[in-house]
Structure 1
Amino acid sequence: MNDVDRPLPPDELAGRLTAVYDLVGPLYRRAQRSVEQGLTADGLSVGVRAVLTLLHGNGPMTVPQMGRAQAISRQFVQRMVNDAAAQGLVESIPNPAHRRSSLIRLAPRGRAVVTAVLEREHRLLREVGGDLTDAEVTTCVRVLGELLKALDHVDLD
């Protein structure tokens, strides 16, 4: 195993991961601004878009499940679900596993809207350069996943 493939000692790892965090913040803020600009035409907020995307990828979910999946508070998710429901984008259905916590699913209009948003974003992401390889993207996803797991203990409510 060469030095590049060897796990880093904790202090060195911490320094390298700081560089990752330093990039993630500006990346997130720029992506959010870009998404907001694209969503304005659809009349969606970033929060409603997040709910629609989550339901699109996972099928019906409860508000607490969505909060955990997105690492955001239940209360915020509930407000976004309420906004989406008011626009006819989602609907509540009975949850056979839990009578007091309904499942939220995409309404037909919500499915059409989120599909259009995701297609537009896909077209934009096709423009990313850098000759990135599958291995590089896989490594990036792994690193970000480990950083997210390290923060799992943070209470959101």
Structure 2
Amino acid sequence: MHSTKPGTPNKPTNDLIVEVFRLNGSLLATADRLVSKFGITAARWQVLGAIGLPEEPETVARLARNMGLSRQSVQRVVNEMVDEGMLRLLENPHHARARLVTMTDKGRNIFAAAIELQEPWVKSLSAGIGKDRINDACRILRTLRERLEAKS
């Protein structure tokens, strides 16, 4: 049996975390290049994706929670996208100050075009890996995320 010194991180888990950081950076850089022709960034694409199609208006706070980001960072991106006509803010019947975010036609068109590019990109990225391995990886990452969220 292999023993580790007290306080030494679990190497396989540590290696996984490092790879997730690297993957996140690569995904964001690739997504930026992929959708730049539509005048958006990966961050804006994430916001459009969080609203999704079919569209369900949500508060910025809920979008941020669903994305795993701070409300302030999502609010900044939403404000920029409202200014550029991709999103609009609606009155919220349940909360006077927390307005609901929804896509405009411009936002819907950009999101649909980005999704068209995403499909072949994802297909080539996952080629040869197999659905079972992808599902296993997803379950492991979800478990780690849930454990982190439970501790915060």
Q: TM-score, normalised by structure 1?
A: 0.82
- Residue 78 of structure 1 aligns to a residue whose secondary structure is helix
| Residues matched between the structures, number | 144
Structure 1 pair 147/54, CA: closer, same or farther in 2 (3 Å)?
same
Q: After alignment, is 17-26 or 80-89 more displaced? A: 17-26
Higher RCO, 1 vs 2 (CA within 8 Å, ≥6 residues apart): 1
Q: Sequence identity of aligned pairs in percent? A: 22
Runs (4 or more) in structure 1 with deviation over 4 Å come to: none
Match of 1:103 in 2: 100
Does the 8 Å CA contact 1:48/1:83 hold for their aligned counterparts? no
Quick one: distance in 2 between partners of 1:18 and 1:59? 37
Distance 1:93 1:14 in 2: 47
Q: CA RMSD in A?
A: 2.2
Higher alpha-carbon deviation: 91-100 or 79-88? 91-100
The yes-or-no answer on 1:27 pairing with 2:29 is no
> What is the CA distance between 1:15 and its match in structure 2?
3.4
Alpha-carbon distance change, 101 to 23 in structure 1, aligned in 2, over 3 angstroms? same
Give 2:35's aligned residue.
Answer: 39
Q: CA-to-partner distance for each residue in 1:46-77, whole Å, 9 max, x for gaps?
A: 22211111101562110110111112111111
Higher relative strand content:
2
The TM-score with structure 2 as length reference comes to 0.84
Point out where structure 1 has 5 or more consecutive residues left out of the alignment.
1-12
Q: Structure 2 unaligned runs (5+)? A: 1-8
